[in-house]
Amino acid sequence: MSPKKIIQARDIVKDIRTGLTDAELMEKYGLSAKGLESAFQKLVNSRIMTVAEVYGQARFGEDTVIIDDVRACARHLLTVAVPIYECEKPDQKGLLRDVTERGLGIIGIEARIGEVKCLVIPCRGFLDVDHIWFEAECMWSQAGKPPDRWAGGFQITKISKEDLNRLRELIQFLTLS
């Protein structure tokens, strides 16, 4: 078992407040996605930062689907399992781990950093539509054992205004926010 990493709170707080992405924070501090999430939780639990500071505040215009600030959208943990799959591989489903209007965490879909995928969230049972389609770039990935435990973080790069509105509805329906 490897020793736990010691990270100075003032250093990571400064980096979060200057807008480093999750991928940049993981690289800088040598953390996995789970380790970064643990660091975020410790900052909130110790009241060094608020949830809003760590996860950001949603800022978006009504007339656009371009979202520029990586930390602009709050991360929402899901209350139920939500399937997701690649357009080209609908039989190989993964699961959403967390979601924002900007990106999502996925378990069970293999991806490499920088890889762009067309992804689909089937919505039957959640919304009055069949699917939400979008394109997303892998920002971090972690191989899993067994392979269906592969984990990755994706930034949405292309989404129609209609599908973005559906994603907002899905977030409202499925989260504790």
Task: Provide mean pLDDT across the span 66-75.
Answer: 44
Distance CA 93, CA 121 (A): 10
pLDDT of 89 > 90? The answer is no
Higher pLDDT, 169 or 1: 169
The pLDDT value given to residue 71: 43
* Ordered domains of the chain (ranges, CATH): 9-55 (no CATH), 76-174 (2.40.10.220)
Q: Which helix (H) or strand (E) holds 16?
A: helix 9-17
DSSP, collapsed to helix, strand or coil, labels residue 71 as coil
Q: What is the mean pLDDT of the chain?
A: 77
The pLDDT value given to residue 79: 53
Task: Provide mean pLDDT across the span 151-166.
Answer: 91
The pLDDT value given to residue 30: 86
pLDDT bucket at 147, cuts 50 / 70 / 90: low
Q: Which of 100, 160, 172, 153 is nearest to 134 (CA)?
A: 160
pLDDT bucket at 48, cuts 50 / 70 / 90: confident
Higher pLDDT, 160 or 66: 160
pLDDT bucket at 38, cuts 50 / 70 / 90: confident
| H helix intervals, 46-177 | 51-55, 161-174
Dihedral class, residue 108 (left if φ above 0, else alpha if ψ from -120 to 50, else beta): left
Residues in CB range of 32: below 8 A, 6 or more apart: 26, 142
In sign, the C-alpha dihedral spanning 89, 91, 93, 99 is positive
Distance CA 157, CA 17 (A): 23
pLDDT of 22 > 80? The answer is no
pLDDT bucket at 63, cuts 50 / 70 / 90: very low
pLDDT of 134 > 60? The answer is yes
